[in-house]
Chain A
Amino acid sequence: MYSKSAFPPLPREFSGRWNHKRYSVIRPLGQGANGAVYLATQAGRKLAVKIGTDPLDLLMEVNMLKSVQQVRDVKIGPLLCDVDDLLIDGKPCTFYSMEYLEGERLDRYAGRVGREWVPVLAVQLLTRLEILHAQGWVFGDLKPENVIVTHGDKQVRLVDFGGVTKKGNAVRQFTEEYDRGGWQAGDRRAEASYDLFSLAVITIRLMTPDEQWKKFTREGRTVARLCDIIRENDGLYPYRMPLLKALQGIYKDAAAMKRDMVTAIRLRSSSGRKKERGSAAGMVLGGLFVASLLTLAGTLYCFWF
């Protein structure tokens, strides 16, 4: 059996075998490694329907969606609506439906509205992560493709719960480019700092031009490379402290990183653009990077600037 067996296309109209809800498919929304998502209507409302290659994988995802409790004021992900089977060519196929989030993927959104939005979006993400972590879960597969900025209220929402993992277990699903293990910065045990690492890489990635990102990561992924990018990027430099601490796994929870990010945003908007940055500071920073890598000297170096 191939691990990537193709899944059959969804019929235009179908009903669930157990709950008898009737769906009309409008269009495909996207396809991932383990499933496809379609936009559909059911009883007059728009929903997203997901079918997967492996029914058990899909059910595990549903289990996570159900387990993560949504908080009233801050929505984390889509609400689960229905789990059922449909018949495709006489064969039962499991699907689930969820709230359809109308919006834009994080990377496309940031590309359109401008890079200076990225730290604000990162703070929004940290609020969601904080809630998720408090409930004992880690998101795992945090990447721009799994974050939607909704039209209208401009709130970030997490989609694709395939990587959501109980704290202490091994992360169920991840993407190398944002994975702590892939950057040789630690293991894949689900803990708050795993998500915070991914968030720091996302922040750096979204504020770095594609060309530069490719150039920097061509020779392998290490935290030292990420430090180089931060040092050379005026947009990232003001956020060096929270980013570095997240990359080094110093933060134990999302709240602490959020505080530091908010502080950095405030400082940045109250002081002039490039004022704080001189070549001497850059050199000091370079030395400190080495020192911090050598000694892992905790947070002390942050107060040198």
Chain B
Amino acid sequence: MKQPTLRQILLVTDGCSNAGISPVAAASLAREQGITVNVIGVIDRHEMGEQGEREIREIAEAGGGLSDIVYPTQLAQTVQMLTRKAMTRTIHQVVNKELKDILGDSTLERLEPEKRVQVAGMVDELGERSSMEVVMLVDTSASMKTKLPAVQQAIHDFSISLRSRSGESRMAVCSFPGKHQHLDVRIPWTDQVEKAHQLTGSLAVSGITPTGPAIVEAIALFEHVSLPAPLADRYRRESGQRAEDDSEGYLEDHVF
């Protein structure tokens, strides 16, 4: 079987979006382009209202991914668990489709348990060997400020997990709202994130949370999606050749 490339956007937020396109619509758009959207809500105490919880759930559902709401201390482990589960689910779907092609209308659930155990082993192995691309999309609106050290720790921790995989893996980190756009690329595609990356400096302290537009812009980072020329220029040059194109103090900017 062909080794699939797994593409995920992992949104880390603490509340509702309030600007631009609906994040649920944006997540559907991502899913249409083969990108799974997972969402983690970070809370301090009970601050996430019903509306926020619902939005988080709906974004993940529309994006074909998983969601969870956790305290900052649980964040690192949740990132790792959610990503892994979403990956397994995607491969499960691919395997189910192949099974259908071979066996007619049969799905994994219809096989006898012993056979299913074998398939599970195969899914596990496929997951380990597949390529993985993850964009972490971090909400840096004012209310997230106290949670950013935990987010930073989680980013570093996640890079350790990615590095330990057999398959090719890379990640990028973006924050929103951005200085000039809806989103800033803070760490361009990499397979290793140093611990020193600071998220807290040069924060856009702003009341707007453009979650939807940020998801739409994050899609542009995945290179399998063909982009209209102006957009491609904007994102891919930025993450690919930032060294030559540093007119706006980009390097200072992404070590935040």
- The interface of chain A, by Cβ under 8 A from chain B, is 1-4, 18-19, 33, 54-57, 59-60, 62-63, 66-67, 83-85, 92, 94, 166, 168-172, 176, 181-182, 184, 187-189
Contact = CB atoms under 8 A, between A and B. Distances in A.
Given A3-B78, A18-B112, A83-B117, 4 more contacts: A59-B119, A59-B120, A62-B117, A182-B76
A83 B67 contact: no
**Interface size bucket, B side?**
35 or more
- From B124, B157, B195, residue with most partner A Cβ within 10 Å: B124
A189 B164 contact: yes
A59 B117 contact: yes
Interface in B165-207: 165-166, 195
Given A60-B124, A62-B117, A63-B120, A2 B161 contact: no
13 contacts: A2-B66, A2-B68, A54-B85, A56-B89, A56-B92, A56-B123, A57-B85, A59-B116, A59-B120, A60-B123, A63-B120, A94-B116, A176-B76
A66 B113 CA distance: 13
Given A176-B77, A187-B160, A63 B121 contact: yes
A162 B86 CA distance: 17
Contact of A187 (B77, B88, B108, B164): B164
A1 B117 contact: no
- From A1, A92, A94, A168, residue with most partner B Cβ within 10 Å: A1
A181 B161 contact: yes
A67 B120 CA distance: 13
A187 B158 CA distance: 10
Contacts of A169: 128, 165-166
A56 to B, nearest CB: 6
B221 to A, nearest CB: 23
B7 interface: no
Interface string B103-131: 00000110011101111110111001000
Contacts of B78: 3
B160 A2 contact: no
A1 B86 CA distance: 10
